Structure 1
């Protein structure tokens, strides 16, 4: 195939069509007429010898070939966009840039608080706009509407870039007056009522039930390996609320150890190691290929990862 005969605009059309899965919305976003976009889709089908998008009862559905092409096309366009952007250095001390970061309650409490303290000295005019996972979608991240996401992800779209900030174990927090604190074994764990905290994903969340065992997450999956289940009496999406509730005499919360470390000086609480093995979790940083080469973005990514490694190193001392 002669590459000089390929219209780059067609790849732009394909990128938006695969994201929107709707010709009307895609044409509006591209600023062209629907007939022009339909003609572009016809040319794309000829180019790739595949229907790419097929009308179904659920709308325009991508073919298997289209799904294979999506991350490749996004990376190609990101490289082109980067090539034509003017190169400028990022002056940390003078920048007044606003970085929008999606972060779980866990990441915000353990990592971003430390980052904010550093920014006061290193980048006093930089602003962080911290959003919750329910505020944004993967599409917002892909389009660069937010700069990055800090969370524990079961999966990420192939086009995203990512870095592991740390791996964390689990700890149990409970009142110092909790009878289980004196002899904390599996029997004591199972006899106590528990607080469950969501492994928050992106997008609008749903309510929980004790019967939703497949959605309960790491702690309950690990417990199920031993043929047990715990008595969950409170479902919450916030670790700090869970820690406050754990001050009650009978309640126990099992949470990542870095979160538990925030309460090491709380005289009402004690920390105990879970009486069974739980697979460690990974806190990940994810961002769009559109921002991969942005100087300011590179600086902030590196700062977050560096601070994360410092926190882990200090917790092992």
Structure 2
């Protein structure tokens, strides 16, 4: 099929090339031979009168024209996929669909076991692929690399619809034999303590609790940084350090660790966890099922954790 003399099949090749920045990997992505992908790149260069990808060292880099085309091409392909290729009905008991979720290890520990349990109760045959959260998670939606983001409400994109899943609080986690555990933790103690914090990979954007503490005007002495929320309670054991941890996560591991949970000595608003999907996939029957399962799982969280689901 052609549009304005462009073979529309080339858009699939262009999307793969701009995603992978490699002829070999792009060919593998769309199940073409390397020579066929090289031929497609040549035809795209002729049509757009631009190199599109140029060799820089060992890597192909997109030209400014290619960067301009990247999101437009992905948007067109997502629209085609959701409007034409998507199945009009969805039956979780017979589907072999794989849902790709960008999700933190915190939500994997707290929420996902309930999601899988509900899916199992419904005799679902779907598959799940869990992917780490990245610096710009909305891009994973827009590039078709993720079906659903599970993400703090504070970090959702304004360009796509969102549902609030649940609320959580923060607590201080300390070693059971520490001085903090014996005498409590005042604001001054918290400010003076060494801290263990989680810093998301590939971004300078802090995790929610660090972001709020910075806005509060408190500069903590960070002695240890990790990429994992779930590791925080483990990393204070045997030390005088403090970790500010999601309440549901901290309470889940408390019985297995020599730790004590203390109230956070500063006023922090509830943490709101949301889910977000591509605006063109709002009526996708499979995603409607998954979103409903996610909301059911959120409602089954411990009292004080689940929040009323609400569209944002």
What is the TM-score normalised by the length of structure 2? 0.69
Q: Is 1:230 matched up with 2:231? A: no
Give the C-alpha shift of residue 109 in structure 1. Answer: 1.0
**Is the partner of 1:44 in helix, strand or coil?**
helix
Give the C-alpha shift of residue 111 in structure 1. Answer: 0.9
Q: How does 1:123-142 map to 2 (within 5 A)?
A: 123=123, 125-130=125-130
**Alignment partner for residue 43 of structure 1, among 42, 46, 57?**
46
**Is the partner of 1:199 in helix, strand or coil?**
coil
Q: Is there any run of 5+ residues in structure 2 with no aligned partner, and where?
A: 308-312
CA distance in structure 1 between the aligned counterparts of 2:235 and 2:24, rounded to whole angstroms: 49
CA distance in structure 2 between the aligned counterparts of 1:159 and 1:37, rounded to whole angstroms: 32
Q: Which residue number corresponds to residue 70 of structure 1?
A: 70
Q: Which residue number corresponds to residue 269 of structure 1?
A: 260
Q: Is 1:307 matched up with 2:310? A: no
CA distance in structure 2 between the aligned counterparts of 1:159 and 1:303, rounded to whole angstroms: 23
Give the C-alpha shift of residue 126 in structure 1. Answer: 4.4
CA contact (8 A) 2:192 2:220 kept: no
Shift in CA distance, 307/229, structure 1 to aligned 2, threshold 3 Å: same
Q: Which residue number corresponds to residue 9 of structure 1?
A: 9
Shift in CA distance, 91/59, structure 1 to aligned 2, threshold 3 Å: closer
Shift in CA distance, 125/222, structure 1 to aligned 2, threshold 3 Å: closer
Q: Which residue number corresponds to residue 207 of structure 1?
A: none
RMSD: 4.6
**Is the partner of 1:33 in helix, strand or coil?**
helix
CA distance in structure 2 between the aligned counterparts of 1:52 and 1:59, rounded to whole angstroms: 13
CA distance in structure 2 between the aligned counterparts of 1:116 and 1:27, rounded to whole angstroms: 34
Q: Which residue number corresponds to residue 109 of structure 1?
A: 109
Q: How does 1:132-211 map to 2 (within 5 A)?
A: 147-151=147-151, 165-166=165-166, 168-175=168-175, 178-181=178-181, 182-200=183-201
CA distance in structure 2 between the aligned counterparts of 1:56 and 1:11, rounded to whole angstroms: 23
CA deviation profile, 1:174-232 (whole Å, cap 9, x unmatched) = 35654335442232113433333343569xxxxxxxxxxx6765555555563633252
CA contact (8 A) 1:142 1:287 kept: no
Give the C-alpha shift of residue 90 in structure 1. Answer: 1.8
